[in-house]
Structure 1
């Protein structure tokens, strides 16, 4: 089961390479971006390790079940709704951004709204599946995409067009103090572990997370790559002129492999798949949060039939996403996203610390949970545990 934790970390960290995180960091390249990334790496690593330590004490339980152990259900509903909105917003922003990219680089004659509708239909079907199915789809998607993306990043590092002098120039500003927005943007790269607020339902009581040291190393490398490589290709000033900086950066690379020449087409296809998987997980998480607010109803982790409530809730998510894209343009979406990233960082920190406090002051209930785990735990681990 350890690999599924790292799958979520890898998904979120790689996906942020194509979205607004590099743009926000580059805007602060002279005003504390490097120190903000360093602080985010420390805080993100500490939160991830603390989070997994806490969730290990609640095997087979997601956030709704944990909250219900310590709080009456009416008090848990606002918390779960806030969490559902955060996951819905992350998924909707991602799909909106990629619908614009697909429209711009693949089919400019088609409205980005039409592209978004088709993406929502795909995610609707995927998100309504069981939690077990969702995490299996994540595994297959990463097995397909990650080797190709890593290969393309390796080509970028070895490109003769990469100007290391521009990278060294920006690195001289390492001693500028951290800022809130670049810190929050950098912290987003480390936030894949948050998906285990629901995927923890799949963990068996003997779950152990090995190779924890890999999380800060991988996320830090992706963070540095997303920031410095565009600067090396476009210069210290030119890098700030692009919103989707990595789409332009990938278009500067070429390959001589048969019919594949422009890297951008391969790059966008891989990230289209990752964005759909990310949205699938986000909508599934939000759906499960909202279902936990409804009258209690026992459901298996891998039910034989998809409940109707899944379609209703995820259908509402799709309508809200399309409505968001209809009401707001790219500039407005950028402003909303920059503020949302800061809010998300605050919610993430508060959520992890809140669950940690519950684990400290609920030792009696944790013992009761463990003693009844074998009889109440109906979730089968993907590893067969």
Structure 2
């Protein structure tokens, strides 16, 4: 039931919010806030958004470090994995918005075939118990929990990239094929929930901490020189983690910089400003501090709270943007779609 509600909520919030951003091409979330809200309120909202992006990246850095240390090389110092990840993300996140956008597209194209291959192997594996999935599906009448709904809606949160990268959209931009969002969301929601149940059963599945890593290790390829699907999964997991942390560090950096009303964002920055290095380095140091403090239980607690707060923030952001769109329609002197991208990059 939580999945079903999350699909409806996630689809609604993502399509409505994306439609609102479409009305302000060339403007990121900070520019929209400064245009329609008092300066103090705009700065507070931008800072809140920056903290949410930064905390999400730090949580993924810890998860990546623990997963790679557990399955790739348990005898290796886990802080070495952390150092490699942090250095890569500091370098990637400090680039210009245009460079980060291109990097995300390239990494997605490289990762998609491997990810689809893992999903195909999961469905066609003869060890999958479809009866176990049907048993769990029979509990659809059970009352949902807010925590589960918030976690499931995270599958639809990719639209939040528009809060920053909408700056790169030219006037007259149209976001097409939004009907794909619920279809892709439904597929990945049921895949990520039911496939581990099919491999591990209805009782044991909740006992695993690294659930999808164990699930991938349950699959075997009978061709090629790599037999364990886990190795392929770790490659995909590494790419996805790098993409996510690069994006969150860059977005948090840009939002913190936008807390200054005098800041003028640029699509291309060459050479990279020192401020970019400083902000991303601070995020990296905070990642080390969090990894020193956290363990599996603390990280589970922090992640659950982050997912719930993120869901509330997304709904709040949707309502704010609807109010802004109403104000833009009400004021005949507002031309939000003009001038934003023209000034961007100068």
Residue 373 of structure 1 and its aligned partner are, at CA, apart by 4.7
| RMSD of Structure 2 on Structure 1 (CA) | 1.5
Provide Cα deviations, 1:164-205, integer angstroms capped at 9, x if missing partner.
Answer: 111111111111122101100011111110111001001111
Change (3 A) 1:300 1:339: closer
Residue 256 of structure 1 and its aligned partner are, at CA, apart by 2.5
* Alignment match, 2:235: 269
Match of 1:258, SS?
coil
CA distance in 2, matches of 1:134, 1:371: 25
Match of 2:253 among 283, 287, 290: 287
CA distance in 1, matches of 2:146, 2:340: 42
Provide Cα deviations, 1:20-58, integer angstroms capped at 9, x if missing partner.
Answer: xxxxxxxxxxxxxxx111111111111111111111111
* Alignment match, 1:91: 57
CA distance in 2, matches of 1:169, 1:52: 37
* Alignment match, 2:112: 146
Residue 72 of structure 1 and its aligned partner are, at CA, apart by 2.8
Question: Is this contact kept in 1: 2:155–2:189, CA < 8 A?
Answer: yes
Task: Could you tell me which runs of 5 or more consecutive residues in structure 1 were left unpaired when the two chains were aligned.
Answer: 1-34, 380-385
Provide Cα deviations, 1:48-81, integer angstroms capped at 9, x if missing partner.
Answer: 1111111111110001100010123222111111
* Alignment match, 1:28: none
CA distance in 2, matches of 1:315, 1:248: 33
Residue 209 of structure 1 and its aligned partner are, at CA, apart by 1.5
Q: Establish whether residue 376 from structure 1 lines up as the match of residue 331 from structure 2.
A: no
Change (3 A) 1:134 1:365: farther
CA distance in 2, matches of 1:128, 1:38: 38
Task: Could you tell me which runs of 5 or more consecutive residues in structure 2 were left unpaired when the two chains were aligned.
Answer: none
Paired residues for 1:360-371 under 5 Å: 360-363=326-329, 364=331, 367-371=334-338
Question: Is this contact kept in 2: 1:113–1:326, CA < 8 A?
Answer: no
Match of 2:222, SS?
strand
Q: Establish whether residue 302 from structure 1 lines up as the match of residue 274 from structure 2.
A: no
Paired residues for 1:198-213 under 5 Å: 198-213=164-179
CA distance in 2, matches of 1:260, 1:56: 45
CA distance in 1, matches of 2:150, 2:215: 23
Change (3 A) 1:318 1:377: closer
Match of 2:222 among 256, 262, 273: 256
Match of 1:192, SS?
helix
CA distance in 1, matches of 2:294, 2:77: 14
* Alignment match, 1:185: 151
Question: Is this contact kept in 1: 2:133–2:197, CA < 8 A?
Answer: yes
Q: Establish whether residue 217 from structure 1 lines up as the match of residue 176 from structure 2.
A: no
Residue 375 of structure 1 and its aligned partner are, at CA, apart by 4.4
Instruction: Give the structure-2-normalised TM-score.
Output: 0.96
| Stretches (4+) displaced over 4 A | none
Question: Is this contact kept in 2: 1:69–1:365, CA < 8 A?
Answer: no
Provide Cα deviations, 1:248-287, integer angstroms capped at 9, x if missing partner.
Answer: 0100111123321111011111111110111000000000
